[in-house]
A = this chain, B = another copy of it.
Amino acid sequence: MRRLHNQHEQFEPGTLTVVGIPSDENSSFLRGVALAPNRIREALLSGASNLCAEDGSDLSQIPQFVDVGDLDLPFGEVWDTSGSPRIEAGISKLLNQGARVISLGGDHAVTYPIIKAYAAHYPQLNILHLDAHPDLYDELDGNRFSHACPFARIMEEKLAARLVQVGIRTLNQHQRQQANRFSVEIIEMRDWHQGMTVEFDGPVYLSLDLDALDPAYAPGVSHHEPGGFTTRDVLHIIQNLNAPLVGADIVELNPTRDLVGITAVTAAKFLKEIATKMLNTKDYHEKT
């Protein structure tokens, strides 16, 4: 892995970029997730472990895996009526250079501008969304860009061909209606079992909210929702995904609640597995 320090530096098409999006202005309950990108990097590079995925791929030896640093976002930025042009432009710039992107949030609100950028490149994008919450609110507390709303925006604007949500365990009446309205496919956590698979026949974007995990595994999130995945469950889902993975985000790490750092190190582990899966689906990408 290389770390780019100069944002104007060029990279090869086919590069897999990691970018931080330190944004938590749209969080409804707690803030602090803006601190996440640096904590994930710290866990990744801490010396407590190596940079290998479980299949043995050593990311430290792969030059096309590049950390491009954080998007430059003003602290406390208020989003405009189109969402966050800065985030959208930041991701578009990377995609335009031929890169694929793993975004490190920030709260889940960032997925909407990310997908706006992705949709321009992947018109038939499938989204696999792991989360305790469907994030389909039409608005929350008057904010249509709340971290409770990104998938309502995405589906309204038809930015995804399919949206498959797994791990959900907080559906209320409004969110069920939204899911129906947008034909969201939901596997609720109470119905999920190890070994379940989801089939896709096109490019997949993985949106991984760490609160999909049970709070035992991820105490460092803003919204604890008990009864969730184990870390191994999520590793199985990533490792067994049978479709080209073209983009991903890991969101909602809240370091202020992660007292001994296990959530950050779990995010870093997911980053390694997602990156390896994406690097192994290079062929698809190059054909596109």
Residues in A lying within 8 Å of B, measured CB to CB: 5-6, 25, 27-32, 34-35, 38, 42, 46-50, 52, 54, 56, 58, 69, 75-78, 140-142, 169-173, 176, 188-190, 214-217, 219-220, 222-228, 230-232, 235-236, 239, 256-257, 259-262, 265-266, 269
Copies in the complex: 6
| Contacts known (A170-B50, A216-B216); A142 close to B78, Cβ less than 8 A | yes
Q: How far is the CB of A265 from chain B (nearest CB, A)?
A: 5
Q: What chain B residues lie within 8 Å of A78 (beta carbons)? A: 141-142
Bound complex: CA A236 to CA B191 (Å) = 10
| B216 x A56 contact (CB < 8 A) | no
Q: What chain B residues lie within 8 Å of A228 (beta carbons)? A: 231-232
Q: Choose one: B30, B35, B56; the contact of A256 (CB below 8 Å).
A: B30
Q: What chain B residues lie within 8 Å of A141 (beta carbons)? A: 25, 75-78
| B224 x A261 contact (CB < 8 A) | yes
| B56 x A171 contact (CB < 8 A) | yes
Bound complex: CA A261 to CA B226 (Å) = 11
Q: What chain B residues lie within 8 Å of A227 (beta carbons)? A: 54, 231-232, 235, 269
Q: What chain B residues lie within 8 Å of A38 (beta carbons)? A: 38, 42
Q: What chain B residues lie within 8 Å of A58 (beta carbons)? A: 172-173
Q: Choose one: B32, B56, B219; the contact of A173 (CB below 8 Å).
A: B56
